[in-house]
Amino acid sequence: MANDVTARWWQREGGGGQFCRGKGFDTFCPIGAITPTAAIPDPQALRIVTRLNGVVMQDASTSIMLHSVARIVSELSRGTTLRAGTVILTGTPSGVGFGRTPQVFLKAGDVVEIEIAGVGRISNPVQHA
């Protein structure tokens, strides 16, 4: 699992219209321990919970993904060689801070924790924002 951090100002204003600019800063995509695919019986039946300072921000199942993991891998492999160890981020459930009312943005000292049932947990402190 991974924490796909986004700098919203850079994503919307400072990146010249390039979506990826807000995602490419140092420390912005911490990745947890790699779980072999064989250890995950059904990638479409996993509960994902994201907490910010212990407060649940996202809680959903991979069963509601717009596109299945199999389809995502199939589509990507049509034009890209996916070698062993390739990491693919599949998206995030609803509840991101930017989409909330009121909006919630990360600040120095915050801790983001992501847990996928049966897979593991990662915890990342926000060092500066």
Instruction: Give the integer Cα–Cα distance in Å for 11 and 29.
Output: 15
Q: Are strands 111-116 and 47-52 parallel, antiparallel or unpaired?
A: antiparallel
Residue 67 lies in a domain: yes
Q: Which two tokens stand for residue 86?
A: 């390739």
User: What pLDDT does 22 receive?
Assistant: 76
Domain that holds residue 119: 32-125
Residue 2 lies in a domain: no
User: What pLDDT does 129 receive?
Assistant: 52
Q: Which two tokens stand for residue 18?
A: 């390039």
| Beta pairing partners, 60 | 48
User: How many folded domains does the chain comprise?
Assistant: 1
Region class of 64: left (phi > 0), else alpha (psi between -120 and 50), else beta = alpha
Residue 5 lies in a domain: no
User: What pLDDT does 118 receive?
Assistant: 85
Residue 10 lies in a domain: no
Residue 119 lies in a domain: yes
The CATH number that applies at residue 86 is: 3.90.850.10
Mean pLDDT by 10-residue block, N- to C-terminus, for the chain (129 residues)? 82 74 81 88 95 96 95 95 91 86 92 92 86
Global pTM reads: 0.86
Q: Which whole-number Å values give the CA distances from 75 to 40, 69, 78, 80, 90, in the listed order?
A: 21, 10, 5, 9, 12
Helices (H), the chain: 8-9, 69-77
